[in-house]
Amino acid sequence: MYNIIIADDEKNIREGILELIAWEEIGCRVCGAMRNGEQVLKYLEDENEEEIQLVITDIKMPVMDGIQLAGILHDRYPDVRAIILTAYNEFEYAQQAIKYGVADFVVKNEFLSELPKSVERVMQQWEKQKDSRTGDGEITFQRGGWCRVCACEIKLKNIGKYGRYEKNVEQLVKNAFQKQNATYMHVDNGLFFVIVETEEEDDTAQVRRHLEKFVSLAESFLELCIRVGCSSVVENKDCMTAGKKQAMRALSNVYSDEHPVIVYENDGEAVQYWLDDSDIDAYMRNLYGALRNGDSQEQERLEQEFFEYLKKGERSIEQCKSDVHAIVSYLLRKTRNAKSAEKIFVQENILEAVFGSRSKAGLWDCVKDTCASAAAVFTKSDLGQSFLVENINYIIQQDYKEKLSLKSISQKLFMNSSYISRIYKKETGMTVTDAINKYRMEKAKEILSTRKYKVYEVGEMVGIEEPSYFTHVFMKYEGYSPSEYMNRMERR
């Protein structure tokens, strides 16, 4: 019997799938019917006796939709297949799920006839892939009743090599665990498992040393960067359920290639949020500013700050992906007008790399690669004004109605006024005071053109309370008085 879960936010659809399809006749048992993807994940994370092989999910659901669910299944539960239920007009949207290895798509209106066929096809594929991953389809345990499961991720840039050297990797596993019976299991491109037999109470430090030896051998002889998440000791019968879950969770917390091995420890602590929306927004602006201004020291400091955030391990891999996706997307938007941006970023497929990362180290690679690419874009492109000048202009546009000066702007930016003045004059050819007054006069002309306000009222509306000074400034930049400007507009 294959165990399946159904996820759909519409009660009638859930009940229809449950009751109108003869599941036992096609060798399946429905273990749960959920309203959204989050409930599915909670079920999978709990220690259930059933090992789930298939999730049938609607594409659009509240809390967590089918696309998001498919992505997490792909990362954390690679043996669980997904079938997406979709409407005709959702097929373009559904294509996003293809990169997550979704097994099939079924149109909702045809689920009675098509879903059973789809399930049978997917389960046949699952059996074939299971056999190819485990050789003869079985793990042979030679001693004891205990083992550890190791989830191993190949660094993104090394995946091509892994395809050529897979047999060598399998041999390295045997070399690293000469005294233990170790089974190598290929899962998909860039991910494999190693099942290591052990005692009920083994030496965790020794296990770590063996794994670090394996990682070192792979790097030395095959030039492969491998990250490893290792489960706690589990019973052999639970190796591909509880053991695999623990291994994937441990792998997700590998934050650096300098520390490539994490052994699972279930400390029961709740996930803590290090960044809220305002924090991440401020971080992105500061990072962009450092990249735009070519400030390599500030860039390095901000990158290190994010590295420390990942290192804390207080945020799940999915939450970290969300933050990294926000950072990468922000930098992509900021560089979209640069001539060299498309060449640098599109070829890297950086967003796909974010979604495909199984470890925090993989996400860290994405951040570093994006920053390096963005720095190259700003170096090569002619984007014009620096981030500092952009900030000054932004403040002028927002606060021109207030008492605004070089001093007040420098206070807002927490920078020396002389430095600001020098940089602004160098890049724009005008002083900050000129920029303030020029912008005010442009706004004043817009208001004067309406002929709804007196001259002194217009002056107050653009931040100049003294009428005579407003007239003086207007004449300096326009060549005639505000009253004459209104007369000219009337004669047109």
Concatenate the DSSP letters of all residues of 208-262 into one string. Answer: HHHHHHHHHHHHHHH---EEEEE---EEGGGIIIIIHHHHHHHHHT--BTTB-EE
- List helix spans (H) across 98-138: 111-133
**Residue 36 counted as domain residue:** yes
Per the domain annotation, does 360 fall within a domain? Answer: yes
Q: Give the domain CATH number at 214.
A: 3.30.70.270
189 and 81, same structural domain?
no
Q: Where is the domain boundary, 359, 380, 401?
A: 380
Question: Is the residue at 272 inside a domain?
Answer: no
In a shared domain, residues 26 and 114: yes
204 in a structural domain = yes
CATH number for position 113: 3.40.50.2300
pLDDT digits (tens, 9 = 90+) for 403-453: 899 988 888 776 778 878 888 888 888 999 999 999 999 999 999 988 888
Q: What is the pTM of this model?
A: 0.45
Amino acid making up residue 80: V
Out of 1-15, 127-141, 308-322, which region has the weakest mean confidence (pLDDT)? Answer: 127-141
Q: Compute the chain's Rg from CA coordinates.
A: 30
**pLDDT the model gives residue 90:** 52
**What rounded mean pLDDT belongs to the chain?**
78
Spatial separation of the C-alpha atoms in residues 300 and 371, rounded to whole Å: 10
Could you list the residue range(s) of the whole structural domain that residue 313 is in? 277-380
Helix (H, G, I), strand (E, B) or coil at 31: strand
Q: Residue 141 falls within a domain, yes or no?
A: no
Residues 391 and 370 in one domain: no
CATH code of 483's domain = 1.10.10.60
Question: 375 and 401: one domain?
Answer: no
Lowest mean pLDDT among 227-236, 303-312, 444-453: 303-312
The span from the CA of 358 to the CA of 361, in Å, is: 8
Label residue 363 by pLDDT band (50, 70, 90): confident
In DSSP terms, 150 is beta-bridged to: 194, 230
Given 201, 229, 263, the domain boundary residue is 263
pLDDT tens-place string over residues 87-144: 755 555 555 555 566 777 888 777 888 888 888 888 887 776 555 444 434 555 555 6
